[in-house]
Structure 1
């Protein structure tokens, strides 16, 4: 990759204001590496930061470089780095936990209270020509894995984490609500882990068509005005049984209610996405049937498994990418995501 003498970055100042700015080229510290970024995917949280200035409890209070789904090439090593060398192509797990708290010591670093998460306020993201990151959270890409696929490991890891948390196994019958990027990678992970039947719901017909190409056994187009009990009946009828596991990838009160009621007695409900607002749920409709409700926050210890899934070439995640832009056109890319012009699923930004 040709080196650059400048470091351009896509910086969100306040909501709706994105500027392409020159930033200093970051020098790696101890156990860090400098990365010449290649590909950075746009996530729903990036779009939410631009539209509203916050996502959940994370609020943009100062200018911040966007992006956390990234891959690039190592250009410089900091002191102490042993696991990588200059020229290595890597996927970036966007975590930097403290490594000292009880959560980190227990291996649940995604719950670290002092974590620096790439592209989440107040921490700069990786949507720039150059970025630095802890070396142990960079994963070398095999030759048969492209940079685009390297960037897709981040969203795939959310789906893998959800399926691990749900304990998907051979023969599992799974309901997934939401056929956006996270719902689709959760579908891929569930099928890879042995799910025998997967049904996925969405309000957009085009996304359900895409879901079929990724292995969905059944799809159900829903409406915000649908009655939950009627949706449950349709799901049970299509599957010829109640799902063992439901995974909500929308974070909406309506979809969580659907999952809670649709899951079989003794089954599991995993909530992946949260819209950041309060919900009113009749927990008795699940608790009294011993439906096990679990939450997912980002991911933890699943990057190697996600990378192996892509490297196996059993799935073609690159087909998730519907739009490509250069870093300089970040604002246009975000507006495409907001307007949904051209039915975007995953938008990829290129930094070279």
Structure 2
């Protein structure tokens, strides 16, 4: 059994409107009656963490003060508030970091679309501090137990897997659907794992980086990689994708948010097909309007997720999806600044950078 021993220093990684990045020492949080104190054992660095640091905003979400980063986390419960009934010290947990208001007067919470709650607290999205810290107080209702055969690293990777599974659910992917995944970054690769488990066939994945395409082939040997060439038109890339797929795609999962990549996905889509955008891109983008109109192509989007964490845990625990190969770099919490330097440097070859705390 794991020995639970609280360390004196609650280190965290913060940024600010000055675009700095700091290892700070915070107070150990005092628990509300419905909260659990979690020793955060593993946190993955998300592209949004890097974006908030480097650019200070994502759309309307703006860093206006000191802001803690991180929302892909798992850990162990150290203490519980007086009203907590589902957890006890020693329980291993993954943290769902979007906490809605859950009021009966909120249409979105009442109808199950809690990710759309206008009063949601999403840890790491300004002005709310994230979970990239040693000790974090988390509401009991938004913790999920992870079984002993799921590591803390895998527990933290449940968050990007949940993003991918939400996309699979909402896109309507069915067995033997011909699929294109645009982008072989962390979300693209975990979408590949999810689509493989869901039975998509054939599958093409695109990227500029040959190493990422090689990783995709390692994860799912039957995937067909297409390297994006700089300067190539989106329509030409779309034709190469169709050739490699052997047909036009019924579904494109766009995981980059890059305008030219969205266009290529559109040009690779069959009449009546769907381009489903998971990636985060520029505030305003152009689209090939008349091409989409003439082919009745559906363009859909995703904002976070709801009611997916239990599915993610089940798939990983059963061995149907193996997340472990996604981790390319590991750092201690005290070396968090170096971890961000690696995650933000394209030449590092990073897929998923993990920050660990024993």
Q: Does 1:323 align with 2:335?
A: no
User: Contact between 1:71 and 1:147, CA under 8 Å: does it hold in 2?
Assistant: yes
Whole-Å separation in 2 of the counterparts to 1:169 and 1:2: 47
After superposing the two structures, state which structure 1 stretch, 142-151 or 275-284, moved more: 275-284
Query: 2:73 aligns to what SS in structure 1?
Result: strand
C-alpha displacement of 1:134: 1.3
What is aligned with 2:265?
259
After superposing the two structures, state which structure 1 stretch, 313-322 or 66-75, moved more: 313-322
Equivalent of residue 114 in structure 1, options 119, 144, 151: 119
Whole-Å separation in 2 of the counterparts to 1:223 and 1:72: 41
User: Contact between 2:175 and 2:201, CA under 8 Å: does it hold in 1?
Assistant: yes
Whole-Å separation in 2 of the counterparts to 1:289 and 1:178: 24
What is aligned with 2:318?
312
C-alpha displacement of 1:176: 0.6
Please list every run of 5 or more consecutive structure 1 residues that lacks an aligned counterpart in the other structure. Answer: none
Please list every run of 5 or more consecutive structure 2 residues that lacks an aligned counterpart in the other structure. Answer: none
User: Contact between 1:35 and 1:130, CA under 8 Å: does it hold in 2?
Assistant: yes
C-alpha displacement of 1:15: 4.2
C-alpha displacement of 1:137: 1.1
C-alpha displacement of 1:29: 1.1
User: Contact between 1:64 and 1:119, CA under 8 Å: does it hold in 2?
Assistant: yes
Q: Does 1:77 align with 2:80?
A: yes
Query: 1:142 aligns to what SS in structure 2?
Result: coil
Equivalent of residue 190 in structure 1, options 188, 195, 198: 195
What is aligned with 2:356?
350
After superposing the two structures, state which structure 1 stretch, 169-178 or 12-21, moved more: 12-21
Q: TM-score, normalised by structure 1?
A: 0.97
Whole-Å separation in 2 of the counterparts to 1:55 and 1:328: 27
**1:15-40 CA distance string (max 9 Å, x none):** 44222222111122132211011001
C-alpha displacement of 1:338: 1.9
C-alpha RMSD of matched pairs (Å): 1.3
Equivalent of residue 54 in structure 1, options 52, 57, 81: 57
Whole-Å separation in 2 of the counterparts to 1:271 and 1:252: 10
Q: TM-score, normalised by structure 2?
A: 0.95
